Every structure is written in structure tokens, then in C-alpha cells.
Amino acid sequence: MKIAFVTDDLKGSSNGIYASAYRYAQKLRELGHDVNLVGYGASGTDAFPVPMREIPVVTPIASTCGFTFGEPHEEIFSKAFADVDIIHLFLPFTLEVEALLWAREHRIPVSAAFHLQPQNMTYNAGFGAATGLSDAIFSYFKHRLYKHVTHIQCPSQMIKGQLEEHGYQSCLHVISNGVPEKFKPRVGARFNDGKTHIVTVGRLAPEKNQATILEGVAQSRYKDAIVLHVCGQGNLERDLRLQAQELGINCEFGFYSEDELLELEQKCSLYIHASVADIEAMGVTEALSAGAIPIIGRAALSAPSAYALCEESLFDAQDPHELALRIDWWLDHPTEQTAWAAAYQEEAKTLSLTTCVQKFLEMEELAIENDLEAYALQNHFLPEPSALHQFFRRRIN
């Protein structure tokens, strides 16, 4: 199979969508498939980089989150999509909408993924969960792109439920972003300095809620023995550094490559995640695969709490006192740590990148079959190219 991946930002950053696209592409190639990568900053095998898209007001805000929009380019599309079996879209922005338009005009099958939770946008804009605004964004995304795609990948059951609640009627497939097989424990990897090392991974952004993690560590009975590793980049780094200093906790901040992150997670006994909005959180799945015990915040709009296997791995995502109790329980019970680490590693096997990519390929085969049938029938879902062109132009301009 030959697949084109289209996503705005492929330049390499703390962007989880970037990581997912490159990991899937690498695994698909290992399995004998061809993948073209289309996006700003695309590099490597079969890469088709597009120009940067400048959007007044929006672009400066997005850049503070480490995100860049891609500019659609007809000539690049023609080269990247010339002989593909299907085009897979990662986001609901102009680059992907134009790619969908190109695909429909040229009768190429299309699938999509839902990787951008509206609350990621509302929190970073300073509005919090903003239920009404989030509902409007769900509707906007649906009408702009997703209602015109038959098969949609959902990285978690939580986001599948959210799409169903908001009237998405496409075929929704729960397929994780997956964990590369190299994320596994390493015997003798733990730190040997008499300290308890805890790790957390994620953009330093409001919805990731690292502030609660800092407070929880500060309230732990083991505060003075803990070293907290905060891994990620974002516009809250300065505030979080000041908070850690004021709380008097031993906290190390840094941005790590994939291999460096794996090595750190293998060395840490506990992993904490406190997001209040998260579609999947690859940091959680990677950490438990690497041998760390997860302590995960429970929140209505955050998916990773589904990975918790026991109550001691759960806390209210906005309750630092409950988090401190969980930290203390695990540190009081080292034998339990060993037993549960093995259970979490078994769970992680179901999230292997190979397993997830195989499910993805099954979805792609269905999407190809359904779209080719629809193209042949010329039914109401796929209007004539000129009509579809006008339809999207009204929404893009």
C-alpha cells in the first residue's frame, strides 16, 4: 500500500502529532509499505515539505506552543499524491482541507485522524475548558473536514465518545498512537544515588497541569528525597520553574530526544500525569512500557486514566493532596511497585506500535474500498469536483 500522510507541522518538536506521524511512517515502511510525508518541515524518506502558512493573530499564538501551519501547494500535492492508494489527514486545518479537496477531485480515497482536542486550544487561549466554545470547535471541525471522510482514527475511547456526543457519524476506529518496541525496561537502569526519581512528560501548557504535580510532590512525606524530572517545552516553563523554587522541591527541567527520554524513564520508578484535557498522552504509555509505575490524574476530558490498573495509580487531576498520598503509598510499598510494574508492562504490549499500525492498515483498507465504491456510484457523499470545489472554497476563504 502507498499512503500519503498530511499534517501541518513536521519540523520536529514536542508536538505529539509529529511523533505519531513519523513513528507510523517508519513502522509502515518496515512492513513493506510506502509513505509520503506532506507538511511544513517534512524531512527524510519520501518527504514533501510545504511552505509555512502565515495567519494574522493565530500564527504568533500557535508559535508559542511550538506549532507551525503548513501552506497548501498544488504542485507539491500533485507530486506527493500522484500514485498513492490513500491520503491520511491528521488535522482539520487548511492544508488538510485542501488535500481532501485535491483527493476528491482526483478520486483518491481519504481517511483522517482526530488528534486535536478543542480543549487544547481553549486552555492555551486562556479560556479553560470553555464548554460552549469547545462545542463550537467540535462542530466547526466536523463541518470543515470530518463529515466528508468515511473513516476516522481516534487515539482513545474517550475521544471517540466525545465525537459521538458531538454528532460525528463517520466510522470511528479506536487506534492508539502506539509505543515503539524499544520502550521497555532495562535491568539495573535505576538511579543509584539514594533519591527517588519521578518523571513527567508533556508540553508545559495549562491543560497539562504540571502545577498540580509540583504541589503534590511538595506535600509528599518524601519531598526531600524526591527528584522530579519535568520533560517538555512550552510557554509555562518560567512559571513552573518559579513555582518549584518557591515550593522548595528538587526539580529538573529539560527537553529530551526520544532515546534520552527512554533512558530517563527506565531510570525512574514513578511517572505522574495530571492533564485535565488529553486525547491519549503518549508520555503515559511510553513510561509504563519502560517500567515506571504511572500515577494518573482522573479528569472527564483526559483519556490516560483508562490505563490505570489499580486505585493507587489514580488521583483527582486537580487535587495535589490526593496525589501526595498516592506518591507516599507507592514509596511505602516497594514490593507492590515490583508486582504492579510487571502488570503494567503486560498492558503495554497491547499498545505496541506494530499492533496499532496493523489496526491502522485494516482501517485504511476499509476506507479505500468504501471511497472507491462511492466514487464509482457518484453518490451524494461525493459531489462532482466543481461542486465540491465551491463547497470547500466557501469555508476556506
Q: CA-to-CA distance for 5 and 168, rounded, in angstroms?
A: 22
**pLDDT tens-digit series, residues 92-103:** 999 999 999 999
Q: Where are the alpha helices (DSSP H) in the chain?
A: 16-30, 58-64, 74-80, 94-105, 118-124, 131-144, 157-165, 210-219, 237-247, 258-267, 282-290, 320-332, 334-349, 353-377, 385-396
Residue 389's pLDDT is what? 46
Residue 388's pLDDT is what? 47
Listed residue (29, 185, 24, 229) closest to 111, CA to CA: 24
Residue 370's pLDDT is what? 94
Residues in the chain with pLDDT values less than 70: 12-14, 378-397
Residue 384's pLDDT is what? 47
**3-state SS class at 71:** coil
Residue 379's pLDDT is what? 54
Q: Residue 161 class from Cβ within 10 Å (0-12 exposed, 13-18 middle, 19+ buried)?
A: middle
Residue 56's pLDDT is what? 85
Residue 394's pLDDT is what? 47
Listed residue (291, 293, 342) closest to 186, CA to CA: 291
Residue 14's pLDDT is what? 56
